[in-house]
Amino acid sequence: MKRIVASDLDRTLIYSAAALGLTMPDAEAPRLLCVEVYDSKPLSYVTETAAGLLDELGRSAVFVPTTTRTREQYGRIHLPGPAPEFAICANGGHILVDGVSDPDWQARVARRLADECASLDEVRAHLVRTADPAWLLKERVAEDLFAYLVVERSLLPDGWVKELAAWAEGRGWTVSLQGRKIYAVPKPLTKSAAVREVARRVGAEEVLAAGDSLLDADLLLAADRSWRPGHGELADTGFVAPGLTVLPERGVAAGEEILRAFLRAG
């Protein structure tokens, strides 16, 4: 049976220093490999064990990194093993084929967004107009597809995100709070839709998936088998789905266990 392995990256397979979740004595901490550098600073890591598992996975399966990151942000990551033929960026807005965004997929996404939901300009204007400078740190647009705010979460008023979500719902958008970021994403823009397209192109009969955040929920629901770590927004909400295995491991140890699960399943 031909299968693809579609996995989120941040806090699923790769981890910032703050997200490593190391709880053992320093002398017992795993050796780390840096997989992302930005402005001459190391940003993201895997363990040496995970690096070996990633290399094995890349050589034995159709591995599809599936991220909300923009193409530029994804390009900073250098995972061990062969370069994936396919990758998904911008929450499904771009399918990269050998590192180049597929124009047919871009056009299909653009048509769906134009037909099914309010414009990015309208949503962005509402975000900027209703956010309070007292707690808003940054406002950003990703790939001209979706928007997000970086906020001081301790100062965020109770109910503001819920009110924004209700406003966005009627305009075909979803809202989620993840860490210090509030994402506003068009409903048609999903990781699962892009993964289905990759599966069609390679003739895959089964999809394996992993993720930790609310923006991974649709991917895990659509997969035949999936895994989530013991940390993240999905863990916080107790998310479950058919075919989903909830792992007890947290932090970088969860990344290793997800890779082992992919390899066992293959």
- What is the dihedral sign for C-alpha 66, 68, 74, 78? negative
- Please provide the DSSP assignment of 85-96 as one string: SEEEEGGGTEEE
**Given this model, what pLDDT does residue 1 score?**
76
| Class of the CATH-defined domain 3-110+189-265 | alpha beta
d(CA 91, CA 103): 16
Q: How many residues does the chain have?
A: 266
Q: What is the pLDDT of residue 49?
A: 97
Distance (Å, rounded) from C-alpha 235 to C-alpha 120? 30
Buried b / exposed e along 118-150 (16+ C-beta atoms within 10 A): eebeebbebbeeebeeeebeeeebbbebbbbbe
| Residue-level pLDDT at 152 | 97
**Residue extents of the structural domains in the chain:** 3-110+189-265, 118-186
pTM of the model: 0.95
Residue 25 confidence (pLDDT):
87
Beta bridge partners of 47: 32
d(C-alpha 177, C-alpha 99), whole Å: 30
> What confidence score (pLDDT) does residue 65 get?
98
Query: Quick check: 42 and 57 in contact, CB under 8 A?
Result: no
- The whole-number pLDDT of residue 138 equals 96
3-state SS assignment for residue 61: coil
Structure tokens at 104: 């047919």
Going residue by residue through the chain, which has 266 residues, state the pLDDT in tens, using 9 for 90 and above.
Answer: 799 999 999 999 999 999 999 988 898 899 999 999 999 999 999 999 999 999 999 999 999 999 999 999 999 999 999 999 999 999 999 999 999 999 999 999 999 999 999 999 999 999 999 999 999 999 999 999 999 999 999 999 999 999 999 999 999 999 999 989 999 999 999 999 999 999 999 999 999 999 999 999 999 999 999 999 999 999 999 999 999 999 999 999 999 999 999 999 97
3-class secondary structure, 206: strand
User: What CATH number has the domain spanning 118-186?
Assistant: 3.30.1360
